[in-house]
Amino acid sequence: MVFCAAIVDREEKYVSRDGFCKCRIVYDGRGDGYLNRTVTECTANLRTDKTTLAMDNEKIAKVLGQLADLLEFTGANAFRLRAYRNGARKIKELPESISGLIDQGTDLVKLEGIGKSVAEKCIELCQTGRLKQMDELLEEIPATVLDLLNVPKMGPKKAAAVFHELGVENLAQLKAACEAGAVSKLSGFGKKTEQAILEGIAIAVAANERILWSAADKIVTKLRQHMATCKAVGQLEFAGSYRRGKETVGDLDMLATSTDAPGVMDHFASFEDITSTIVRGDTKMSVRLEDEFQVDLRVVPDDSFGAALQYFTGSKEHNVQVRGKAKQMGLKINEWGVYEVGSGDGDGDGETWVAGKTEAEVYRRLGLPCFEPELRESRQEFDWAAADALPELITLDDIQGDLHMHTTASDGRASIEQMASAARERGLKYIAITDHSKRVTMANGLDGERLLNQWKEIDAINATADDGFVILKGVECDILENGDMDIEDDVLQHADWVIASVHYGQNQPRQQITDRIVGAIANPNITMVAHPTGRLLNKREAYDVDLDAVFQAANAHGKLLELNANPIRLDLKDVYLAAAQRHGIPIVINTDAHKPAGFDDMRFGIKQARRAGLTRADVANTKTIQQLLKLIGKD
């Protein structure tokens, strides 16, 4: 691989592609441009080291997954597909950077789960930023067909069928084909599948328009790191639905203060993930990143930063109430500040700026508290403020334990000891080991005998602990389709912590699913219901369940409900969490971790809990182990 070492003012990243050196150059830190020369024209500056592009593991894994999907469209060998998908999963979970390992000369084939073909693809990606094979496939298959894979019930095989047999290339065409009844006529589909696909198209559309909060957070982290090197930036913050912690985010609003707006925008323009610039004005710039995700930058003066942050954080409904409050007080509020509106002298009303440097200053001038961003949805926050009863929202530091996780005994990637060690490192005081029960065969679920043996192992580990750390003996026990529990009661009665979950039969009628969950709640051995609606964000809708009946049963039997912190679940959703709180039901925020790094998902659950207005007192795993055991009747 050949790189150009030419620099103008300071070195940037350069990549040679198709015989040309594409050299990004920056003129005095202000404007950027591109200098393209043939390789021979750059001979004096050539070097042939193995420096790679800044390609992170998640991007590599995503491309490999997409390659496997496209290959499946062509009927490629199943072994190859499995190799790419397994490789993508391994790379995504790898703690070391693939590009860094390549720089160090590491033989990737020596890594577990990485074969020769996957290793070659990783090197090609890191050295060129793309895959030749992917480009060739996309000449045959439109990239939009990948959107079809976001539709529930539509795997690569079914997507390939509608593409090849019906010529369906995008979601709009798929919807039309379903409505015309053409899909149900294909082999392996039928009317029920066609209807399920039609209903699932809305999920796929949403997946194209909004990304998970956790994905937006990764973009924010990279942008913060990039903008931190710009000397022209004073304050910098992100606003909008991201700041409010909504579970999905449509775009990002980035606010910065500066006296050199062009310099800030020039620096922003050099962000490596930008694929196109939508618009650039004097103080505003909008760009698209990979996957068409939009980021808007606004540069404001210091005196307006607080007002702009309040305005662009929203929500729209919250700001309507704020503006109404200002109007009642003879004030005007916008993204530039709070203004006193004068009576005028015949030439029009005068306006005097009175606040705007900080959000606290803006709200204070209106006689309001500075609401936490997560509460700004125009639900209860203004009533709480009027009663001087704003809740002190839960924080990550309040959590003392994690009570839903898996080990190598089922589908986890670490042992009991490794999970306990990771929990200790994060300051937790207790955990519950809750591997799957036997119904979940694909996860190697445990039967009664294996569970009892695992619990003996946990007893032995607890007996040697000298720091007060406690491991609870638990299980994630499936609620079977007929309503029975997957593990016998004479086994469950020996557990410290039993989770009831619905994994199968999620398409059953509303009353049947409700009866299954309510029946499990009534079982004296059950402690908590996990991910109570079964939703997967941008992938699967919640199953149809009467949550009010579930809340009433949980309250009557003294059972707990989970807020699953996995960023693709965040189940229960915020409005349901608030309803559970009103019913007096303790919430447990769990990570459902399948490996040590999974514990870090707790912060996503905390963000969701804050949106519901939950406090430390509302969440069971903020309690000490003694208090928790007393709560569940195990003291």
Tokens 């913050």 sit at which residue? 237
Helix ranges, 426-509 (H): 448-464, 489-492
CA atoms within 13 A on the CB side of 577: 26
Of 524, 508, 584, 518, nearest to 549 (Cα)? 518
Q: What pLDDT, on a 0 to 100 scale, did the predictor assign at position 53?
A: 55
End-to-end CA distance of the chain: 65
Question: What pLDDT was estimated at residue 43?
Answer: 30
Distance, in Å, from the CA atom of 8 to the CA atom of 133, rounded to the nearest integer, reads: 34
- The rounded distance, in Å, linking the Cα atoms of 92 and 563 is 25
User: Residue 218's Cα: distance from chain center in Å?
Assistant: 9
Kindly report the backbone phi and psi dihedral angles of residue 27, in degrees, each rounded to the nearest multiple of 5, phi listed first: -95, 105
pLDDT for 30: 30
pTM of the predicted structure, to 2 decimals = 0.83
Enumerate domains of the chain plus CATH numbers.
Answer: 3-44 (no CATH), 50-139 (1.10.150.110), 142-209 (1.10.150.20), 211-300 (3.30.460.10), 306-386 (3.30.210.10), 396-631 (3.20.20.140)
d(CA 450, CA 125) in angstroms, rounded, equals 44
Instruction: Please identify every stretch of the chain with a pLDDT value under 70, giving residue numbers as ranges.
Output: 1-54, 343-349
pLDDT of residue 54: 59
DSSP 560-590: EEEEE--TTT-BS-HHHHHHHHHTTPPEEEE
Query: What pLDDT was estimated at residue 49?
Result: 38
Q: What is the per-residue pLDDT for 139?
A: 83
Q: What is the pLDDT of residues 273-332, one digit of tens each?
A: 899 999 999 999 999 997 789 999 999 999 999 999 999 999 999 999 999 999 999 999
| Confidence (pLDDT) at 375 | 98
Question: On the CB side of 82, how many CA atoms lie within 13 Å of its CA?
Answer: 3
